[in-house]
Structure 1
């Protein structure tokens, strides 16, 4: 019904609803987080944690409702496993657009534990959303560049320690940690600059995943390997709101986490790092084959 509204009216209505949904949900969420910080009573904090996650899931649910009823986007979804809302997952995906996050949230909302992303420390200062991510226990990371690490090798240890500390609160609880191993969105320029051997993917970076496995130990039980494909070209967020995206394909495969990748020293053991990178490259080669299959269909 809503897609019959002329785009000239529908687009500003979508923006208004997004703003209202974010303002209302995040305001209540932050109020719950404030009570949680002020009242250090374990049972009360656990109850408030449930409310905070519920508000976030409701925020995602409303965004997904708008995608279903105010755009003509069709999400073509296939998976090879039964998902568990009480599971312990590491979610990996290729990264093409900011739309990816909304699609992933739509596919997984309430079907697996609420997804947390590793965020750059600077994103804490994004108005409202930075505080919301903090209240939702998103891990904020201070990652150092290669040049910084070459000058001060001790900073590598600080990165690992910070990751472990950020993940401590997830141990023993249902959790989904989301990582984009490519580290950035795909563009033809970045692809050419990297000289990636894969036609539709950037080279995967294994450091973030290695840190997550090191920090979580046995707290993560499986990998959800996600491949996203937009058959009519990579869209922007404005394309979603203006109803210019008609289809997205989502392939989800449940993969075991090899025991050999849980216990190595990624920073200091060259053989282990090479083994980890080889395993990641294998995953990405499989992902390219999936994308090739989408392109042929």
Structure 2
């Protein structure tokens, strides 16, 4: 009964925190529309980022009061708040967003998540994400492009326009390379070489690097694990049952392995896929060690 009471209380508090900060960011977005210069718009984005920092801080406080969590974190030493990063991570649960924001909010620029174009039209949330300069992506399927060849290349152009504003202040762009949350059922549906991961999708990260690869100082490779709460980490956290959160961080260079023409150079495309496959193999081995411990 106590666990379900905590679940209700935590959901209520997190929703209130999200609603208040979204409303404030929404008001910043309204003001931002009428600001006359890019410099003033950047200032408005900075104000919105501070509200997102407050949202992450309050969420961490709420969940820390109801969970006795042991944080096992390695690799934060060389991170800087005045740098540009591409952050890639495995994706296990909605908990990941809370964990990433909590761990990195005081060490790197506030994370910007790539969002689907449809989310722009969600009341308050869409405008709040727009005020935070989160990029909205419109991806066209292969079948759609066959029917409408004139749209080929427009999704990359849209991504580039979305990322142009990041040149004005240090930014962290987050990409969940698997494209969806990991479940054992998803892993078993198709043959994959990984035990704790889904197959990485190279297209999304390739779009990000093609749009602003020259701006990134480093790639942050994050491995997340909830060894004692693998089945339902988000619900367990809300119910006060989360016991251990493991975060492993390593910095990867932005070099010839990731900078090239992924969409027209077949040789580079194979090289890039091999590079990402190696990163994912290392991550799977790390998760195996964490879960066995």
TM (norm. structure 2) is: 0.93
Contact 2:14 2:59 in 1 (8 A): yes
Segment of structure 1 superposing worse, 12-21 or 209-218: 12-21
| Cα distance in 1 for residues equivalent to 2:129 and 2:4 | 33
Superposed displacement of residue 258, structure 1: 1.7
Contact 1:222 1:257 in 2 (8 A): yes
Contact 1:67 1:73 in 2 (8 A): no
User: Against the structure 1 CA distance between its residues 42 and 154, is the aligned structure 2 distance closer, same or farther, given a 3 Å change threshold?
Assistant: closer
| Cα distance in 1 for residues equivalent to 2:102 and 2:176 | 17
Contact 1:80 1:254 in 2 (8 A): no
Contact 1:93 1:180 in 2 (8 A): yes
Instruction: Tell whether 2:73 aligns with 1:77.
Output: yes
Counterpart position of 1:231: 227
Could you tell me which runs of 5 or more consecutive residues in structure 1 were left unpaired when the two chains were aligned: none
Counterpart position of 1:257: 254
Contact 1:81 1:253 in 2 (8 A): no
**2:239 is matched with which residue: 239, 242, 246?**
242
Instruction: Tell whether 2:134 aligns with 1:138.
Output: yes
Contact 1:164 1:216 in 2 (8 A): yes
Contact 1:81 1:254 in 2 (8 A): no
Instruction: Tell whether 2:60 aligns with 1:64.
Output: yes
Segment of structure 1 superposing worse, 46-55 or 112-121: 46-55
| Cα distance in 1 for residues equivalent to 2:112 and 2:175 | 9
| Cα distance in 1 for residues equivalent to 2:53 and 2:118 | 24
Superposed displacement of residue 11, structure 1: 2.8
Superposed displacement of residue 275, structure 1: 0.9
| Cα distance in 1 for residues equivalent to 2:112 and 2:151 | 24
May I ask how many residue pairs the two structures share in their alignment? 292
Secondary structure at the aligned position of 2:87 is classed as strand
| Cα distance in 2 for residues equivalent to 1:44 and 1:80 | 32
Contact 1:171 1:219 in 2 (8 A): yes
Counterpart position of 1:128: 124
Contact 2:226 2:233 in 1 (8 A): no
Counterpart position of 2:279: 283
The CA deviation string for residues 253-287 of structure 1, in whole angstroms up to 9 with x for no partner, is: 0111123422x221222211111111100100110
Segment of structure 1 superposing worse, 38-47 or 237-246: 38-47
TM (norm. structure 1) is: 0.92
**2:209 is matched with which residue: 213, 217, 222?**
213
Instruction: Tell whether 2:56 aligns with 1:87.
Output: no
CA RMSD of superposed structures (Å) = 1.9
| Cα distance in 1 for residues equivalent to 2:129 and 2:70 | 28
Could you tell me which runs of 5 or more consecutive residues in structure 2 were left unpaired when the two chains were aligned: none
Secondary structure at the aligned position of 2:153 is classed as helix
